[in-house]
Amino acid sequence: MTGPELRALDLVGELTAARAEHRTAVDHGDAATAGLLAAWIDLLLDEWNRRARAR
């Protein structure tokens, strides 16, 4: 693995959990929670990309 991949790797578990919770919220029709989780996922992905670009 490269340095940027290792810097972003710790986010994998958080992204996986957030996606599972998002699916559950969507399945239960909880739009408010699903929206918050979607925003959290976007933030985590932004952080992933920021870390991947860092040198």
- 8: Cβ contacts below 8 Å, ≥ 6 apart: 47, 48, 51, 52
Pairwise pLDDT comparison (1 vs 41), residue with the higher score: 41
Residue 40 pLDDT level (bands cut at 50, 70, 90): very high
Q: What is the pLDDT of residues 8-23, one digit of tens each?
A: 778 999 999 999 999 9
**Per-residue buried b or exposed e for 16-38, using 16+ beta carbons within 10 Å of the residue's own CB:** eebeebbeebeeeeeeeebeebe
What pLDDT is recorded for position 19?
98
* 4: pLDDT strictly greater than 80: no
What pLDDT is recorded for position 53?
84
Residue 52 CA to residue 47 CA, distance in Å, equals 8
DSSP 8-state class, residue 29: T
Pairwise pLDDT comparison (47 vs 3), residue with the higher score: 47
